[in-house]
Amino acid sequence: MNRLPAEPRDQAAAWSAIAADYEREFVDPYRADAINPLLDRLRALPDHAQAAVADLGCGKGPLLPLLAQKFAVVHAVDFAEEMLRHARQRCVGLGNVRFHHASLTDLGFLHGQLDLAVAVNSLVMPDVRDIETALIQIRRCLKPGGTLLGIVPAMDGVHYWTMLLVDRALRRGMPLEAAQKNAAHLAEHQYFDFAFSRFRFRGIEQHFWHPFEIPYRLRRAGFRDVRVDKVLLSWEHFRWREEFVGQEPPWDWFFAGRVE
Ligand SMILES: C[S@@+](CC[C@H](N)C(=O)[O-])C[C@H]1O[C@@H](n2cnc3c(N)ncnc32)[C@H](O)[C@@H]1O
C-alpha cells in the first residue's frame, strides 16, 4: 500500500516516470569537469569507516558505490519506486547498501542512526513546508556531531545563464526585446515560476533555491555551522559554450550543516 499523501504521491509517480530518461533530462553535477565540493568531501573520507550514511533521494544511485566504499552501512532512500529499481541494479554485489521506499518527510525508521546524510537535488519539494519537515527529519536522523551534505538547484544560476544569453543576443545585434525573448526561450523560462522559485517539467515540480535561503532554512531546522559553496556545472550541458569561454559556468548550490 502506498501511504504517501496525494501531492507527494503524484510527485513520486512523476519522478518514477522520468527515471528512464533521467540522464538525458537533468544536469549532472558528478561529471569529471564539474567542480563539486560534495564529491571532494566524500572522496577525502577514509575507506570503510565504521559509520552509517544515508543517500536521501538517491535516485538511480550514482553516489551509492562511493558511499558503500567509504561507510559501513549505506541507507538509500527514495519515494520513486522506479528510481530505486535502477539504484538496486547499480548496487548488485554491494552488500552494505539497504534500500528504503520512503518519503524524506517521514524518516522515523532512521532517527538517531546516521553519522552523515547526503541529499543531492532531492530537497526540492514544491511545498516549502515539506522541505522544512524533511530538514527536521534529517536532523533527527543524525547523531550528535553528525553532518548533512547537500546540493540544491540554484535559482540564481538560472538568472545568471539568462544574463549571458541576453548579452549574447545583443552582441549579435538583436534589439533588447528580441534578445530577452531569445534568452527566455533558450533558458526554458516556460517551465519556471520565478516569483516562487518553482520549476515544472513533465509533471515534476521542483523548488529551486536562492543562496540566502540555505542558511535560513537549515538554521530553522536546527543545523549549525552552515556552509554554502558553488557546484560549478560542466559547460557541456549548455549550448553555445564556445561563446562563453572565460566565463564561470552556471551552478548548483552545495551546503553543509552540523547537528550539535
Ligand atoms: C533530481 S533527482 C536526484 C537523484 C540523485 N540524488 C542524484 O543525484 O542523481 C531527485 C530525487 O529525489 C527523489 N525525491 C524527491 N522528493 C522526494 C521525497 N519527498 N522523498 C523521497 N525522495 C524524493 C526523487 O524521486 C528523485 O529520485
Query: Which of 122, 123, 152, 208 to mutate to test ligand 1, by most ligand atoms within 8 A of the CB atom?
Result: 122
Residue 84 Cα to ligand 1 middle (Å): 10
Q: Is residue 186 part of a domain?
A: no
Q: What does DSSP say about strands 71-78 and 49-56: parallel, antiparallel, or unpaired? A: parallel
Global pTM value = 0.95
CB atoms within 10 A of CB 165: 23
Reduced to 3 states (helix: H, G, I; strand: E, B; else coil), residue 18 is helix
Q: Is residue 182 part of a domain?
A: no
Residue 47 Cα to ligand 1 middle (Å): 26
Q: Is residue 106 part of a domain?
A: yes
Residue 2 is predicted with a pLDDT of 46
From atom 13 of ligand 1, which residue's Cα is the shortest distance away? 57
Phi, psi of 14 (to 5 degrees): -65, -40
Q: Cα separation of 113 and 204, whole Å?
A: 30
Residue 5 is predicted with a pLDDT of 56
Q: Which domain holds residue 43?
A: 6-154+197-241+251-258
Q: How many structural domains is the chain composed of?
A: 1
Q: Is residue 135 part of a domain?
A: yes
Buried b (16+ CB within 10 A) or exposed e, 204-238: bbbbbbebebbeebbeebebeebebbbbbbbbeeb
E-strand ranges in the chain read 49-56, 71-78, 97-101, 114-120, 142-153, 192-193, 198-201, 204-207, 224-232, 251-258
Q: Which residues line ligand 1 (CB under 6 A)?
A: 8, 15, 26, 57-59, 62, 78-80, 83, 103-105, 120-122, 124-125
Query: Which of 27, 79, 110 to mutate to test ligand 1, by most ligand atoms within 8 A of the CB atom?
Result: 79
* Residue 259 grid coordinates: 547537528
Q: Cα separation of 21 and 119, whole Å?
A: 21
Query: Which of 7, 78, 209 to mutate to test ligand 1, by most ligand atoms within 8 A of the CB atom?
Result: 78
Q: What is the CATH number of the domain that holds 130?
A: 3.40.50.150
Sheet with strand 114-120: strands edge to edge: 97-101, 71-78, 49-56, 114-120, 142-153, 251-258, 224-232
Q: Is residue 64 part of a domain?
A: yes
Q: Is residue 201 part of a domain?
A: yes
* Residue 216 grid coordinates: 535560513
Residue 103 Cα to ligand 1 middle (Å): 9
Per-residue pLDDT of the chain (260 residues; tens, 9 = 90+): 345 555 577 999 999 999 999 999 999 999 999 999 999 999 999 887 789 999 999 999 999 999 999 999 999 999 999 999 999 999 999 999 999 999 999 999 999 999 999 999 999 999 999 999 999 999 999 999 999 999 999 999 999 999 999 999 999 999 999 999 999 999 999 999 999 999 999 999 999 999 999 999 999 999 999 999 999 999 999 988 889 989 999 999 999 999 99
Q: Is residue 185 part of a domain?
A: no
